[in-house]
Structure 1
Amino acid sequence: MGKSSLVKAAHATVRRKTKKKLDKDDVKLVEIHREDIATLPRCLHLMADAGIKHGHRFIVFCDDLSFDKDDTSYKSLKAVLDGGIEGRPENVVFYATSNRRHLMPRDMMENERSTAINPSEAVEEKVSLSDRFGLWLGFHNVSQDQYLDMIKGYVKHHGLKIDDDALHAEAIEWSMTRGGRSGRVAWQYIQDLAGRLGVKLKAE
């Protein structure tokens, strides 16, 4: 499972449990692109109103969030996450995925250390954006056994018929040709396998 897939799965789970418990579907997933971060304050205002009037709750999701060297829009996002004078709406949470730990390129950090009058303050100002996120989840490389467990789990869930030895050999070859092992690589193999077997994968 990839980063964005995890967010979508979490949303689906919350929706399902909320609907079962409260008989209503009031958790909305709203995706915003990094280029539209400047519109986020207005969006949050509308979501806050929707919470007051209709009881809706929102997950605001930004996929592959990162900022380039000369990009200053991260300052706007910092202000939004802090809440400003109005404060953050209680019915909104913000999720983001990124391939950069601090959302900034490494060379940007190194440049700040080498050119700033006070290097530590300059770097802290840049990385403080990531500190606004209360919970971090890391996606690390998986072992071969973990990768094969993912494959077997998918095979069982989707009812794919294949010999264990053939599955093992194919899955390892697939990961080698893709240059690594991950949830995404495992899922891509399953999609390929299902296509060859003529099996339609389940929606969930």
Structure 2
Amino acid sequence: MPDADNRDVLARIADALERLAPPVAHQADLASGDAFVWDGRGTRAISPFDPVAIDLLTGIDQQKARLLDNSRRHARGHPAHDVLLWGSRGMGKSALAKSVVKALQAQGEDLALVEAPSDQLENLPDLFERLAEVPRNFVLFMDDIGFAEGSTEPRVLRSMLEGGASQRPANVRLYVTSNRRHILARQMSEQDDPVNPRDVVDDQLALSDRFGLRLGFHAASQDDYLAIIARYADVHGIEFEPEDALLWAKQRGSRSGRVAWQYIVELAGRAGRSLG
């Protein structure tokens, strides 16, 4: 029988092994529920799934209509595109991707969203296997994707989009946001590369070309910015002065949907109003 010292050592070893062992991955029921998060090992439900109402998204009517149409097709099992939403920060790329799914769910379409971090590309084939077994359609959403110079991840993503062994299943479409039209930034060093610098650029373009639908989001004009604020203000019963709204944007160095919403939050806070 081990003495007290040995028992103490064995207990410490057991505790250390327990800490080293990864926790059991939680697996949500993908056959029901509106939205999920994938962490590289398992899925959990997002509850409640409550994105911005699609009618509140202002100044992006064309993008809204095209993404709604594509998503409705996918929800019904018709041919649909993988989508790249690119452009200025704060102009509603992420909000639109989520709001479209929610709007279609409200219309009775069986479409679910799965959000995956952009640094988990190597684990997506495991997720694809699980989604392929579920008799419903999914939007796999990856926000603010970007790659470091020399990274092999762009080729991994290209393989998923078209023709590779890890290609996404038929019931899944990728909706990806990026601040850049071609996702990858062209490095200045490429222009000094004597070995086929054009090949580097072509390789970058080949990734964005894999998305059948590419929607651009551009910086808001002054009129667009004020229209966005007016829409939010009308819904929440808040009055505002255009000059004050423009000063708010000037102080932040940009005009965008995000800045407009922050201004509404500021006005509600000044007035002691709830935005719930």
**TM class, shorter-length:** 0.7 to 0.9
Query: Greater helix share, 1 or 2?
Result: 1
Deviation at 1:17, TM superposition (A): 1.2
Distance 2:120 2:168 in 1: 18
Distance 1:83 1:12 in 2: 30
- Structure 2 residue corresponding to 1:132, chosen from 210, 218, 221: 210
- Please tell me whether Structure 1 or Structure 2 has the larger radius of gyration of its CA atoms: 2
Distance 2:167 2:177 in 1: 23
Deviation at 1:85, TM superposition (A): 5.0
**Per the alignment, do residues 76 and 86 of structure 1 end up closer, same or farther by CA in structure 2, a change over 3 Å counting?**
closer
**Per the alignment, do residues 66 and 87 of structure 1 end up closer, same or farther by CA in structure 2, a change over 3 Å counting?**
closer
Distance 1:113 1:11 in 2: 41
Are the equivalent residues in 2 in contact too, given 1:62–1:97 (CA < 8 A)? yes
* One-letter code aligned to 2:250: M
Alignment partner of 1:143 is 2:221: yes
Residue 95 of structure 1 aligns to a residue in which SS? strand
Runs (5+) with no aligned partner, structure 2? 1-90
> Mapping of 1:112-191 within 5 angstroms?
112-160=190-238, 162=239, 167-191=241-265
Deviation at 1:183, TM superposition (A): 0.9
Are the equivalent residues in 2 in contact too, given 1:113–1:123 (CA < 8 A)? no
Alignment partner of 1:99 is 2:183: no
Deviation at 1:139, TM superposition (A): 1.4
Runs (5+) with no aligned partner, structure 1? 20-25
Deviation at 1:116, TM superposition (A): 4.8
CA RMSD of aligned residues (A): 1.8
Distance 1:200 1:93 in 2: 37
Are the equivalent residues in 1 in contact too, given 2:186–2:201 (CA < 8 A)? no
For residues 145-166 of structure 1, what are the alpha-carbon distances to aligned partners after superposition, in whole Å with 9 as ceiling and x for unaligned?
A: 1111111111111122x2xxx5
Deviation at 1:180, TM superposition (A): 1.3
Deviation at 1:198, TM superposition (A): 2.2
**Per the alignment, do residues 61 and 71 of structure 1 end up closer, same or farther by CA in structure 2, a change over 3 Å counting?**
same
Which shows bigger deviation, 78-87 or 128-137? Answer: 78-87
Q: Determine the structure 2 residue equivalent to 1:22.
A: none
Which shows bigger deviation, 26-35 or 193-202? Answer: 193-202
* One-letter code aligned to 1:33: P
Are the equivalent residues in 1 in contact too, given 2:115–2:142 (CA < 8 A)? yes
Are the equivalent residues in 1 in contact too, given 2:136–2:171 (CA < 8 A)? yes
* One-letter code aligned to 1:81: L
* One-letter code aligned to 2:156: S
> Mapping of 1:54-133 within 5 angstroms?
55-84=135-164, 88-107=168-187, 110-133=188-211
Distance 2:247 2:106 in 1: 37
Query: Greater strand share, 1 or 2?
Result: 2
Are the equivalent residues in 2 in contact too, given 1:113–1:119 (CA < 8 A)? yes
* Paired residues, number: 186
**Per the alignment, do residues 106 and 120 of structure 1 end up closer, same or farther by CA in structure 2, a change over 3 Å counting?**
closer
Distance 2:220 2:237 in 1: 24
Are the equivalent residues in 1 in contact too, given 2:140–2:175 (CA < 8 A)? yes
* One-letter code aligned to 1:145: D
Distance 2:264 2:232 in 1: 7
